[in-house]
Structure 1
């Protein structure tokens, strides 16, 4: 993790001093140069919605390693939004250090101490009011400042840097390419397109910012997408952090890291997380939404999902695998459940609707499954993406459509010092991108041909969410059969067809000029 001192403008609302910094994760070859300025290329990535820098862990490792095999030393930087300064990862990091899952759950749920600290709770109200100003303009300025500070010579930036992102990060990159950072359209050394030599799009489109305004973002859950698309700037005042009462909020996004931690420390033990969770409406609603087989189970809580016997790996798999996770922007092809019977999952949407990508926009097209037995004699286990038993999974999956390792996913959710999922996503950012005219940055000059100034490589998954063409003749589009939205970041280096993973190898080729 690299952290730079970059204070917010003097006009910014009161905020913690820790938020006057910018952080990113830096991956580089162990035998490469210490200085990024001496690297052959540096890929700089913007995260998607509710996504932190840690989500890029696998694709970053694999891309850097692929280039090293060609004798090239490239780096991969994943940016973290400034709002993530409010997160507290103490419990997870302490548990990784001592190997005890109880350290983390005691810290977050039972007022336990870790590394001399106690969890202060999740920020809300006045603690997050300053995020009303963390919209598109500040997000772009933050990326520019990191590049400017790390590569003071603009000519070096232009030669070394490739700019891109995943999901929402692709739309942000399109605006970055066209932004004028010194306020003088007559000078172009500061223009976004002159900070990069090319662009990369990870299950997203990089297109003109003016072409993005007013379009919908299918990666958002339907209720959130409705809030954003029908909202106005006034919503920022009422809701500076984008959240829902269940499934999407700071407490539940932290649960994903804890699920990864349990799977990392004790993969075959059963229900380390589920049975330690406190009883509250938010967590109960989230568990029922994600794990209920049908509406009746969700409404009554019978059978109780907390009584399901499942290994820690199986719990993590059930949360994120495309055969059970209904939200397209949270889906990965990470294997399949084993050890007990499964049946059709018709909640939170009927499977016939969930399989129609056009009908729901944010839902994947894989048939959903759910355990059908909750007795004490059945313990569900997880079959990793390359387990030979995947071939016997019936109509639900086959080896060619499983691409992400459950072990690597657990690592990425816990070990990077910046989170895989962010707790506090600033609603201003999506509101700025959604509006046909956004007063918050209408004064800024846009270089309308900025995206066209550099080549683009785009990777497009076959499931999860639909991605529109950029319409740019300089855009090389690579289709990814069997991949879902998260797989573009999390896929394993070696695939079931015996070949190297496509995104990282082609991205390395793009970076090294092959």
Structure 2
């Protein structure tokens, strides 16, 4: 989802100012838990299934990942998409539907990492009457870092070994071609997979193409204002913190919606759940929103979600979209609703965020994975990479096509970095696309007609499918 939350304050001038402007401007499933979740109809149907992975030292049931599959089972091309930091599979569902509808013979697999097994989403399941009480009153099952030392070992090696289980399943013994992609740090993960050494076999030999969405390596995040932290001194400090028990990345607690690793993610899903099920009803959550983030007048469930995700409320680029605005005062007996006048309708955000399974936001992100992904930015077999067990040995050998897309988030450095990767490898051709009218999350949820990322990625996939056999 996001690489790293922008370091500017969201509880002070940025967020408060956005709320003030928004307030005064006025005119401008099924139960969580087991088995398989299915959606009938559509373009080939949708299923959410487990994939067995290697032993990771976690609790029973955690040695697996999950995949949301969208599109025909007999597709000759499978697009495997990896979410970014704190992202989860449902963040790709709408994009997947658009791609499958646009490109014949394509199926999309969206990955949920093994960390997703640790989240308790039962409060959103079928028949749930009071999800807000279940989660905000602390009745859900939470992960205590003191009892989760195994998460401190879930770094990039573990993540890529898990991802390979998915890629190999998608390849079906070489009968299908696989295009591997990702969003934000998911793009970094996809590129790392391609350069990784799997017992002497380069990862790119499993693939027919790469798709980088608003992330990557070789300085992709330089333009965001939060470049990677990969000096030896920074890495030593971060590893020491992990060894001392800080096994979870706490970045999202900076939003101000709670101080637990999962607090912000729960709030976002709650907001999406109510906005999806009763968009025009008075907000169920508003009175419980922390005062610093609360809209100072009654709003609907849809408008409350809008205040959490829209860029007009002062949220950083990496966690926001261009959706719309609050309805003028006086509508709906004093309860203000939401007006869609952006590229990403709030109903699409709500549909994705509501879940329940899979979700959009991963609850528990391993701090070690953050370290490893930062170090992977060099995209080379450096001394530091070898010390961390990162087998990035084959970047120069990449011989598959690459697609790169950037929004306003990176101020141009995503495409610049992709060009470096191409120049330093044997990539046969590349497509570079940009849309500065998008924020970091817009490509995931924007309306089909306004989604530059989906349209241009579909063009790339048609070219790959038309020129490449299964590898």
Q: TM-score interval w.r.t. the shorter chain?
A: 0.7 to 0.9
Counterpart of 1:510 (choices 446, 455, 460) is 460
Q: Is 2:100 aligned against 1:64?
A: yes
Q: What is the SS of the residue equivalent to 1:272? A: coil
1:295 alignment counterpart: none
Q: Partner residue of 1:458?
A: 404
Measure the CA separation in 2 of the matches of 1:42 and 1:427: 30
Equivalent residues of 1:309, 1:378 under 8 A apart: yes
Deviation (angstroms), 1:488? 1.1
Q: Indicate the SS of the match to 2:312.
A: coil
Q: Kindly indicate whether the alpha-carbon contact (under 8 Å) linking 1:45 and 1:78 is maintained by their aligned counterparts in 2.
A: yes
Check if 1:240 corresponds to 2:247: yes
Measure how far apart 1:246 and its partner are. 4.4
Give yes or no for the alignment of 1:88 onto 2:28. Answer: no
- Mark the CA change 1:27 to 1:318 in structure 2 (over 3 Å): closer, same or farther: same
- 2 CA distance for matches of 1:438 and 1:65? 40
SS in 2 for 1:26: strand
1:239 and 1:466 map into 2 onto residues whose CA distance is 34
In the TM superposition, what are the counterparts of 1:366-385 in structure 2 within 5 Å?
378-385=334-341
Cα pair distance change 1:178/1:24, threshold 3 Å: same
- Show the counterpart of 1:26: 69
Q: Report the Cα distance in structure 2 between the residues aligned to 1:76 and 1:235, rounded to whole angstroms.
A: 37
Go from structure 1 to structure 2 and tell me whether the alpha carbon gap of 1:466 and 1:243 turns closer, same or farther (over 3 Å shift). farther
User: 2:133: which partner in 1?
Assistant: 106
> What corresponds to 2:111 in structure 1?
79
2:210 to 199, 222, 232: 199
Confirm or deny that 1:175 pairs with 2:200: no
Q: TM-score, normalised by structure 1?
A: 0.70
Partner of 2:273: 261
**Which residues in structure 2 correspond to 1:420-435 (within 5 Å)?**
420-435=360-375
- Contact 1:219–1:329 under 8 Å retained in 2: no
Give a deviation string over 1:146-174, Cα, whole Å, max 9, x none: 22234342x33xx5100110001111111
Query: Does structure 2 conserve the Cα–Cα contact (< 8 Å) formed by 1:132 and 1:426?
Result: yes
Structure 2 stretches lacking a partner, 5+ long? 1-47, 379-383, 424-428, 467-471
Kept in 1, the 8 Å contact 2:214–2:440? The answer is yes
Q: CA deviation at 1:416?
A: 5.5
Quote the RMSD (CA, aligned, Å): 3.0
For residue 164 of structure 1, give the secondary structure of its aligned residue in structure 2: strand
Unpaired stretches in structure 1, ≥5 consecutive residues: 112-117, 185-189, 278-282, 292-304, 342-375, 386-401, 496-500
Please name the residue that 1:315 is paired with. 304
What is the rounded CA distance, in whole Å, between the counterparts of 1:217 and 1:16 in structure 2?
39
User: Which of 402, 408, 411 is equivalent to 2:348?
Assistant: 408
TM-score with structure 2 length normalisation? 0.76
C-alpha contact 2:310 2:320 (8 A) present in aligned 1: yes
Q: What is residue 50 of structure 2 aligned with on the other side?
A: 3
Deviations 1:429-483, CA, capped at 9 Å, x for gaps: 1111223714554473611324x31111112113576643122253311111421
Partner SS state of residue 164, structure 2: helix
SS of aligned partner of 1:142:
helix
Change (3 A) 1:324 1:421: same
Asked if the contact 2:219–2:413 (Cα under 8 Å) also holds between the matched residues in 1, the reply is no
1:47 aligned to 83, 89, 109, which one?
A: 83
Does the 8 A contact of 1:459 with 1:488 survive in 2?
Answer: no
Q: CA deviation at 1:485?
A: 0.5
Of the three residues 427, 447, 452, the one matched with 1:492 is 447
- Distance 1:444-1:463 versus aligned 2 partners, 3 A rule: closer
CA contact (8 A) 1:128 1:241 kept: no
Q: Distance in 2 between matches of 1:464 and 1:331?
A: 14
* Contact map agreement 2:299 2:335 (CA 8 A) in 1: yes
Distance 2:94 2:434 in 1: 19
- Counterpart of 1:119 (choices 136, 140, 143) is 140
Secondary structure in 2 aligned to 1:232? helix
Distance 1:222 1:321 in 2: 26
Tell me how far apart the structure 2 counterparts of residues 173 and 218 of structure 1 sit (CA, whole Å): 20
- Cα deviation for residue 377 of structure 1 reads 7.2
Q: CA deviation at 1:306?
A: 6.8
Q: Distance in 2 between matches of 1:509 and 1:254?
A: 36
Checking the alignment, whether the CA contact within 8 Å between 1:6 and 1:21 is kept in structure 2 is: yes
Which residue of 2 is the match for residue 363 of structure 1?
A: none
**Closer, same or farther in 2 for the Cα pair 1:429/1:446, shift >3 Å?**
same
Q: Distance in 1 between matches of 2:311 and 2:77?
A: 34
